[in-house]
Amino acid sequence: MTQRRRNLATFALLIPIPGIASANVGVPLLAFAWPVHWLALLPIVALEAALVARAIGLPYRELVWPVAKANLWSSLVGVPVAWLAMLALQFLVVYGVFVLSPETLQTSRIPLPLFPFTVAWLVDVSTWNVYAAFVVLAIPMCIASIVVERWWLSISLPFSDRAAMRSGVRTANIVSYVLMTAAALAYPLLA
């Protein structure tokens, strides 16, 4: 029997054993945040192209395609890398808390001061917990987007004013992330 068949047979034997599996493992916030980024991509490109064009003094039409490519890179690479960094931080913080004070983690509720460090993978998936985690996670995602988009635009626009381009990308991303988080917070209130 090949290794693949052994793996499939083992998997098939484990499926009917309900005591092994547990469905209360939480939810990776990337499952919520990444689709939002993809849905908002076109309006974000339009907004950021306008803001970067104003910052570096190039026509809007010349910047739409480079800014679109930068945002594609940012969405494909920056968002997941920021989430992975926050997940690593979450493991470190939760492990540290568990080592120092094991009774703290006996419930599914994380103490409030630890919440910003535990947003990558939510244990308590109540509605407002998800929205609050989205807002907190927007900060490292914004930073990652700024880094990735600056890198891409410095390659795509080699003759532009570097300082103005860096400033424009920073401003454009901060504005777009503020608007995206405001929309995410307004959604449950208006729905």
pLDDT in tens, 111-165: 777 788 888 988 777 778 888 899 999 999 999 999 999 999 999 998 878 899 9
Question: Among 137, 173, 122, 133, which residue's Cα sits nearest to residue 152?
Answer: 173
pLDDT in tens, 28-43: 889 888 998 899 999 9
Tokens found for residue 159: 């003759």
All structural domains of the chain with their residue ranges: 32-190
Question: Among 8, 4, 47, which residue's Cα sits nearest to residue 177?
Answer: 47
Which of 108-112, 147-151, 175-179 has the lowest average pLDDT?
A: 108-112
Question: Among 187, 46, 64, which residue's Cα sits nearest to residue 130?
Answer: 187
Question: Among 176, 107, 113, which residue's Cα sits nearest to residue 141?
Answer: 176
Place of tokens 């405001």: 182
pLDDT at residue 105 greater than cutoff 70? no
What is the pLDDT averaged over residues 166-174?
97
* Burial 98-119, CB ≥16 within 10 A → b, else e: eeeeeeebeeeebeeeebbbbb
Q: At what angle do helices 127-156 and 162-190 cross, to 10 degrees?
A: 160
Strand locations in 21-165 (E): 27-28, 121-122
pLDDT at residue 70 greater than cutoff 90? yes
What is the pLDDT averaged over residues 163-182?
95
pLDDT at residue 78 greater than cutoff 90? yes
Number of neighbouring beta carbons within 10 Å of residue 26: 13
Looking at residue 74, what is its pLDDT? 96
On average, the pLDDT of the chain sits at: 86
pLDDT at residue 19 greater than cutoff 70? no
Q: What is the pTM of this model?
A: 0.79
What is the pLDDT averaged over residues 41-52?
97
SS (H, E, C) 9-37: HHHHHHCCCCCCCCCCCCEECHHHHHHHH
